[in-house]
Chain A
Amino acid sequence: MSTTTLTPDGLTAAPDLADILPPRKARGKIMMFIYRYPTIAAGGAMLSIILAIAIFAPLLWTVDPTALAPAKRTRFPSEQYWFGTDMLGRDVYSRVLYGARISLIVGFSVATLASVLGMLVGVCSGFIRWLDAIIMRVIDGMMSIPGILLAIALMALTRASVQTVVIAITVAEVPRVSRLVRGVVLSLREQPYVEAAIASGTRVPKIIFKHILPNTMAPIIVQATFICASAMLTEATLSFIGAGTPPTIPSWGNIMAEGRALWQVKPYIVFFPAIFLSVTVLAVNLLGDGLRDALDPRLAKKV
């Protein structure tokens, strides 16, 4: 098959955003970077803004996002309440800004954890023959359970918290990374310089750290960004159906879940978190597309 663009989850088959954004006249180093990697620049810039919002939420004219004020409920967006108030009189602007924290924490934590664990499992699987068969069976099995259902099932076992959400989504993502890493490891093992290193008696850990890991970094970073995006969406989805972050925590999914009963009359309660979530996921996806093109010329070379 000639489907080099396919990783197991199929999500890395992305458009070249270079095609989407019109070329601009390059001016200076920054402009040069933007010109060469418009996707990374756009995604990175958007993500940086969201990140700044999340970090500096307390300074951005917010109030306590959980403070109730039923006397001031369901106010439309105004000078006083920029994004309006929800059915309990909480300030939607503050909730949305603080909600960025949950999404980013979940996205980044899952991406990191899944990458590290996936790398561990993938390398073990690629190097330890007898373990490989077992691991691959388990991975095949896990990957046959649709990710969100796996996360739902795991969430049912415990009390909801941000940590359990992270763990549940991570468990669903690890098999993909493992399989990706294993594939890279297996192909690298065939490389003459690795074979030579093994023949010359270089110890396995050294081979792994010197030859294998550095070569897995590029695909893993690309994969991690896509995992980050999908984890954010999964968290929002879980919260939306009541199986995610506890409802006392303002996450975008929770704000939308609570506001949906009123979407017809007070659409802004759902609208603002939806916009933020979509933009954030879009930013991460763009970043992932760009990174893939930049880091993996083999994948990027698509005509």
Chain B
Amino acid sequence: MAAPSIARAQGSKLLRFVPQANLSSMDAVAGTQYVVRNAALMVWDTLYGIDASLTPKPQMCEGHEVDAAFKTWTFKLRAGLKFHDGETVTTRDVIPSLERWMVRDTMGQQIKLRLDALEALDDRTFRIRLNKPFPKMLFALGKNNAPVALIMPERIARTDPFKLISEYVGSGPMKFNTKEWVPGAKAVFERFDGYSVRNEPGEWLAGGKRIHFDRIEWSIMDPATAAAALQNGEIDWWETPLPDLIPVLKKNPNIRVDIADPFGNIGSLRMNHLQPPFNDPRIRRAVMMAVDQSDYMQAVAGDDTSTWKTLPSFFTPGTPFYTEDGGELLKGKRDYAAAKKLLAEAGYNGEKVVLVVATDVAITKAEGDVTADTLRKIGMNVDYVATDWGTVGARRAKKDPPNQGGWNIFHTWHAGADCVNPAPYTALDAGGDKAWFGWPKSDAVQAGIAKWYDAPDAAAEKAAMAEINRASFENVTYVPTGFFLMYQAWRSSVTGVVKAPFPVFWNVQKA
């Protein structure tokens, strides 16, 4: 029975990682869950990739040419790119991949709106011809937030954009081991020896993605178990340690703790704009009036006030174009009486509000509990549906009435890196049916976003963002519940862990 010390001594070629949530699917084009995106970024590669300054750098592409009007883009793939099944990556794979992505992604949709042709010139060269300028093309192709413009083999890329892919072959640095995948418990990635690494130093999605492990194992476990396992050296890296456990982890000399991503996160209370009662903007405003962000942030991020702040904005604080224009509704003391009055004016009459809460993710559970309490304070009839994050992911896509499998409110959070401007900011879009779950519709918001895309200079961009912020508050596209930093924790034997909006596995090593 004295074996465990041996049991814990694993080969150095294995990295044991605990992700933020269960990995139940692998499609980061059709789905936008962070955990899925994080896994997919290992398995699939992108044409371009952003670095830590959010600048897109060539990744699968060797380079590109673009005309002065930013209308005709010609790209050339690097030689020697291979999929995990040994096939060479060609433009025949790239084009359907981009086509599928353009249907789902908000930036992709912008490209599609302007698109005249997406054509292959030869096996390694393809061209995008637009009828309107699109200067943010490279960012769109290289951004890290889902839907990511992942390049898949043609047969997989032909999958209906609204259906999940069922084969997981990519050209990324890691292969997904389908055989060992135990949904709800374990996911295994193996190094792809045929990966052609770029020579530049790796940074986020840019440069050389060098994998120093034969296997990366994701184990899904609850936070209490993960904390104990990390302290005991049974796992190497925990993506989202609970804030309350940070002091204990910090005390342990074998554990390193750091902010996961300096861009932080924006909490989100998302209402369904299609279904009553939240199809009425006054009722959405009433909810926003009652939201006390410091309550949310304490429940989510804990007592350490250096890790969170209130956020009367839809954008990431500390970034150049940050604006609080129009954010008055979230500032100052909460006025429940006024919120109640507004509800009454809007004719709210005790209709049930279906609040779907993912109780298996600490952040969404905390947000959900605070929202239930908040809504009750203003006299709303809350139906608290406890479920898991995977189900929330599926259920939020349903437009049906709440009593037929739909929903009224769910919670999530957005990586601050995705909220610096409208381009990667899926949740900000208010294009109605085509918008992200909740399907907010506001012409003013859309007009602001269009202005931003066409903005010739920084001043115009800033003005457009202020306009978007105002319109988004007016429309209550969603309710930001505050800004918070998350931690990550790893064993001190692991080196090379970087701050990023997603776990960067390349260039990480273990002693």
Chains A and B share a contact (CB less than 8 Å): yes
Query: Which A residues have a C-beta under 8 Å from some C-beta of B?
Result: 66-68, 70-71, 73-74, 87-89, 159-160, 242, 246-248, 260-266
In the bound complex, CA of A234 to CA of B456 (Å): 65
CB-contact partner of A88 in B245, B247, B297, B366, under 8 A? B366
Q: Given that A88-B369, A160-B386 are contacting pairs, would A261 and B242 also be in contact in the complex, using a CB cutoff of 8 Å?
A: yes
| Selected interface stretch from B55-63, B187-195, B220-228, B275-283 | B220-228
Q: How far is the CB of A247 from chain B (nearest CB, A)?
A: 5
Q: Would you call A88 and B299 a contact (CB within 8 A)?
A: yes
Q: Which of chain B's residues have a CB closer than 8 A to the CB of A242? A: 359-360, 386
Known contacts A88-B299, A260-B222, A264-B227; A70/B245 CB under 8 A: no
Q: Is the CB of A265 within 8 A of B386?
A: no
**Which of A74, A88, A262, A264 touches B303 (beta carbons < 8 Å)?**
A74
B77 at the interface (CB under 8 A from A): no
Chain B nearest CB, measured from A165 CB (Å) = 13
| B409: interface (CB < 8 Å) | no
Check B386 against A261 for contact (C-beta < 8 Å). no
Contacting pair B298 A71 (CB below 8 A): yes
Give the complex CA separation of A299 and B186 in angstroms.
50
Nearest CB on B from A117, distance (A): 29
Q: Nearest CB to that of B226 among chain A residues?
A: A261
Contacts of B245 in A (CB 8 A): 262, 264-265
**Chain B residues near A247 (CB-CB < 8 A):** 357, 359, 384, 386
Cβ-defined contact, A261 with B248, below 8 A? no
Contact B295 A70 (CB under 8 A): yes
Residue of B with least CB distance to A67: B373
- Chain A residue contacts of B223, Cβ below 8 A: 261
Contacts of B299 in A (CB 8 A): 68, 70, 73, 87-89
Instruction: Give the chain B neighbours of A260 by CB distance below 8 A.
Output: 222, 224
**In the docked arrangement, what's the CA distance between A89 and B300, Å?**
12
> B382 — nearest CB in chain A belongs to which residue?
A248
Contact for A264 among B248, B298, B357, B385, CB less than 8 A: B248
B82 to chain A, nearest CB (A): 43
Give residues of chain B (266-304) contacting chain A, Cβ–Cβ below 8 Å: 294-299, 302-303
Q: For the complex, what is the distance from the CA of A264 to the CA of B369, rounded to whole Å?
A: 22
* Bound-state Cα–Cα, A266 to B242, Å: 13
Give B203-230 as 1s and 0s: 1 = Cβ < 8 Å from A's Cβ atoms: 0000000000000000000111001100
CB B293 to nearest CB in A, in angstroms, measures 11
B370 touches A261 (CB 8 A): no
- Please count the residue pairs between chain A and chain B whose beta carbons lie under 8 angstroms apart in the complex: 69
Q: How far is the CA of A66 from the CA of B370 in the complex (A)?
A: 11
Residues of B close to A248: CB separation below 8 A: 372, 384
**What residues of A have a CB within 8 angstroms of the CB of B224 in the complex?**
260-264
Other A-B pairs, 6, CB within 8 Å; known A66-B373, A68-B373: A70-B298, A246-B384, A247-B386, A262-B244, A262-B245, A265-B248
Chain B interface size range:
20 to 34
- Residue B362 interfacial (CB < 8 Å): yes
Please give, as numbers and ranges, the residues of chain A lying within 8 Å of B370 by CB-CB distance: 68, 70, 88
- Tell me if A71 and B294 are in contact (CB < 8 A): yes
Contact A74 B244 (CB under 8 A): yes
Residues of B within 8 A of A89 (CB): 298-299
Q: Smallest Cβ distance from B26 to chain A, in angstroms? A: 25
Specify which chain A residues have a CB less than 8 angstroms from the CB of B385 in the assembled complex: 159
> Can you list 25 A-B pairs, Cβ within 8 angstroms, ordered by A?
A66-B373, A67-B373, A68-B295, A68-B299, A70-B295, A70-B296, A70-B299, A70-B370, A71-B294, A71-B295, A73-B298, A74-B244, A87-B299, A88-B366, A88-B369, A89-B298, A242-B359, A246-B384, A261-B362, A262-B244, A262-B245, A264-B227, A264-B248, A265-B244, A265-B245
Most chain B beta-carbon neighbours within 10 Å: one of A67, A70, A261:
A70
Q: Give Cα A248 to B359, complex, Å.
A: 11
Lowest 8 CB-CB distances: which A-B pairs, in order?
Answer: A70-B298, A261-B223, A68-B373, A70-B299, A70-B295, A248-B384, A247-B386, A261-B224
What residues of A have a CB within 8 angstroms of the CB of B228 in the complex?
A: 264
Contact with A along B336-370 (1 / 0, CB 8 A): 00000000000000000000010110100010011
C-alpha gap A70/B295 in the complex (Å): 5
A242 to B373, CA, bound (A): 20
Give chain A nearest CB distance to B367 CB in angstroms.
Answer: 11
Bound: A74/B248 CA distance, A: 15
Task: Known A88-B370, A242-B359, A242-B386; judge A265-B247 contact (CB<8 A).
Answer: yes
Chain A residues with Cβ under 8 A from B372's Cβ?
248
Of A74, A246, A247, A260, the most chain B CB neighbours within 10 A belong to: A247
Report how far A71 CA is from B292 CA in the complex, Å.
Answer: 11
- Who on chain B is nearest to A266 by CB? B244
Residue on A nearest B292 in the bound complex, by CB:
A70
Bound form: Cα–Cα A73–B357 in Å: 20
Q: Which residues of B contact A67 (CB under 8 A)?
A: 373
Minimum CB distance partner of B362 in chain A? A261
Indicate the member of B242, B245, B369, B384 with the most A CB atoms within 10 Å: B369
Instruction: Report Cα–Cα, A248/B383, bound state, in Å.
Output: 10
Whether the pair A262, B242 counts as a contact (CB closer than 8 A) is yes
Chain B positions 207-265 with a Cβ under 8 Å from a chain A Cβ: 222-224, 227-228, 242, 244-245, 247-248
Render B300-341 as a binary contact track against A, CB cut-off 8 A, 1 for contact.
001100000000000000000000000000000000000000
